[in-house]
Amino acid sequence: MKNVTTYQNKKILVLGLAKSGVSAAKTLHELGAFVTVNDGKPFKENPEAQDLLALGIKVICGSHPIELLDEDFFMMVKNPGIPYTHPLVQKAQEKGLPIITEVELAYQIAEAPVIAITGTNGKTTTTTMIEHILNAGMVDSKAHLAGNIGYPASTIAKKVESNDCLVMEISSFQLMGTEQFHPKIAVLTNLYEAHLDYHGSWENYVAAKWRIQQNMSYDDSLVLNWDQKEIRELAQKTKAKVIPFSTKEVVNGAYLYHGQLYYKDEAILAADEIGIPGTHNIENALTAIATAALWGINVQTIADTLRSFSGVKHRTQYIGKVDDIAFYNDSKATNILATQKALEGFDPHKLILLCGGLDRGNDFDPLVSSLSGIKAIVLFGQTKYKLEEAAQKAGITSIYFAENAETAVNTAFELGERGDAVLLSPANASWDQYDNFEIRGERFMSAVEQLRQMKRSSQ
C-alpha cells in the first residue's frame, strides 16, 4: 500500500456500510484519519458497525441526521448505492464537501496498475475472463479481482504489489465518485438504458460511464465496443489510445470474422470453442482478448483459457445435467436485456425457460421476439402473469406456473426430454421473494442438486 498522508488527522465521514463502506472505514482508519461512519441500520442489528466501533471508529446508526455535517469534515466517502438526492449528500454538496466512492480511495493507495471494466452488461463475465487469462499468463505476479464484482477495492488494493495488477469491475455509481482514478487499460463493454432512476437521464448515465477514461493519457488503452454508434462517437473525446472490438466488422483490434475470433491479423480461436454459450459471450471474449493482448499475454494462453472458461456464478452458469437435461443458472439476469442476451445462446426448440420476479411496473413486450420458438416456460414471482401475456404473444403454448425459482426446477424437469436445456434467466430483480439474485441462484442450484440426488437414489 502506498504511504498516503492525505487523510492523516483529517475528519472523514463514511456514509453507508455494506462491504465497500466497511472497507473504506478500515482503510481510512489505518491511514490515520478520524473516521465517522453513518449507516441507516440500527446498531443492534448492525454487526459491521459493531466491529468498527471496537476498532475505535465513531459510529452513528439508525438514521442520517443532517446535523452530522455541522462537523468540519474533510471529505465524504459515499456508498455507491446511495443516490445523490439523499438529503445528507445534498447537504454535503451544498457545503462543497468532496464526495468520493471507495474505488477512488483504492486507486489512491494501490501500488499496482489498474485494468478497469465498465458497461451496462457483461462487466462481471468480462472482468473474470480477463483475470483468468492474466493469471494463466503472468509469471511472478498476479491479477487481483476487485470492485463491483464483490471484492472491496480498497481491501484488495492494500495487498497488491507493484508488479501485480488490479482488475476492477466498476459501476456507473462508483465512477461518479472518482477524481484521480486512472486505469492503465479501461474497457467499455456496451451502453444500454439502465439505472435512469438513479442518474436522472440517459445523458447523465453515459457521462457517468465515460468518467472511466477522464484521467487517461496517450500512454493508456481504451477498449471500446465499435458496434455501438454512441460509443464510436465517444471515442473521439478521449486522449487514450482506442482499441475497438466488433462482432460485425474487421477492426484494428479484436473482432469476429467467419466464425473466428481475431486480434489484429492473428486468429485466436473459433467462436464455438469459447467455454460458455451465447453471442454476448463472444463480445465478452473479444474484450478479454484485446485486454490480455495489450497486457502482453501470448495467443496460446488466451485461447486455452477461453476454451476452459466455465463462466461466472449466476451468469449463464452451467450447473450440470440430470438425465441428460442440462441446467443453467443465470439468476444475475435482472432485466429484460440480460435475458435476451442469455436466450441467444440456446436452441429455443430445446429450451425450457424459468422466469419471473419483482414487478417494477414495466411490461415485457420487448422480450416477445426473444421468446419465440421456446419449448416451454415456467413462471413465478410478481410478474408471472405479465410474462404469461408475453409468452402467449410469442406463440408459446406450454406455459406453467411455480411458487418460486426452486420449485420451478421439478416442473421444468418433468417437461424436459434428453438433450433439452433448462435456463433460469428471470428478467426481473429478485426482491419480491429473495434478498438478492445470488440467493435466488443458490436456491435454484440446490434444487437441481436435490433433483440429481433423488434421481440417483431411485436408480
pLDDT digit string (tens) for 298-326? Answer: 999 999 999 999 777 888 888 889 999 99
Sequence-distant (6+) residues with CB within 8 A of 3 are none
Helical ranges in 325-371 per DSSP H = 336-343, 368-371
Span(s) in the chain for CATH 3.40.50.720:
11-100
pLDDT higher than 80, residue 152: yes
Q: Which numeric CATH code is attached to 103-308?
A: 3.40.1190.10
Q: Is there a contact between 228 and 239 (Cβ–Cβ < 8 Å)?
A: no
* Cell numbers 495467443: residue: 299
Per-residue model confidence (pLDDT) at position 459 = 64
Alpha carbon of 27 to those of 32, 107, 110, 206, 411: distances in Å?
9, 12, 12, 30, 49
Q: For 87-130, how does the pLDDT look when each residue is reduced to its tens digit (9 = 90+)?
A: 999 999 999 999 999 999 999 999 999 999 999 988 989 999 99
Q: Among residues of the chain, what percentage have pLDDT more than 90?
A: 88
Q: Give the pLDDT score at 3.
A: 87
Could you give the strand order of the β-sheet that contains 241-246, starting from the edge strand earlier in sequence? 143-147, 165-169, 114-118, 185-188, 221-225, 241-246, 254-257, 260-263, 266-270
Chain centroid to Cα 395, Å, comes to 33
The rounded distance, in Å, linking the Cα atoms of 196 and 126 is: 23
What is the predicted pLDDT for the residue at 266? Answer: 97
Concatenating the DSSP letter of every residue in 76-139 gives: EEE-TTS-TTSHHHHHHHHTT--EE-HHHHHHHH-SS-EEEEE-SSSHHHHHHHHHHHHHHH-S
Write the pLDDT tens digit of every residue in 219-249.
999 999 999 999 999 999 999 999 999 999 9
Answer for the pair 69, 91: CB distance below 8 angstroms, yes or no.
yes
pLDDT at 170 over 70: yes
DSSP 8-state class, residue 75: E
Of 100, 92, 85, 44, the C-alpha closest to 67 is 92
pLDDT at 196 over 90: no
Average pLDDT over the chain, rounded to an integer: 95
**For the purposes of burial, counting CB atoms within 10 Å of the CB of 235, is it exposed (0-12), middle (13-18) or buried (19 or more)?**
middle
Contact 148, 195 (CB under 8 A): no
pLDDT score of 316: 84
What are the φ/ψ torsions at residue 169 (nearest 5 degrees)?
-85, 130
Q: At what angle do helices 18-30 and 47-54 cross, to 10 degrees?
A: 0
Angle between helices 123-137 and 279-295 (to 10 degrees): 40
Distance CA 317, CA 424 (A): 10
Neighbour tally for 366: CB within 10 Å:
13
| CATH 3.40.1190.10 placement within the chain | 103-308
**Other CB atoms closer than 10 Å to residue 317's CB: what's the count?**
20
Question: CA-to-CA distance for 293 and 298, rounded, in angstroms?
Answer: 7
**Mind listing the pLDDT tens digit for each residue in 388-432?**
999 999 999 999 999 999 999 999 999 999 999 999 999 999 999
- Name the burial class of residue 382, with classes exposed (0-12), middle (13-18) and buried (19+) by CB atoms within 10 angstroms of its CB: middle
User: What fold, for 11-100?
Assistant: Rossmann fold (3.40.50)
Q: Which CATH superfamily is domain 317-454 in?
A: Mur ligase, C-terminal domain (3.90.190.20)
Phi, psi of 58 (to 5 degrees): -70, 135
Residue-level pLDDT at 241: 98
Task: Report whether 423 contacts 330 (CB < 8 A).
Answer: yes
> Which residues does 207 contact at the CB level (< 8 Å), separation at least 6?
none
β-strands 260-263, 266-270: how paired?
antiparallel
How do residues 34-78 score in pLDDT, each as one tens digit?
999 999 999 999 999 999 999 999 999 999 999 999 999 999 999
**Cα dist. 306→58, 243, 286, 367, 436 in Å?**
47, 20, 10, 29, 29
Residue-level pLDDT at 150: 82
Q: Are 452 and 320 in contact (CB under 8 A)?
A: yes
> What number of CA atoms fall less than 13 Å from residue 209's CA on the CB side?
27
The pLDDT value recorded for residue 275 is 87
Q: Name the 3-class secondary structure at 36.
A: strand
To the question of pTM greater than 0.85 for the whole model, the response is no
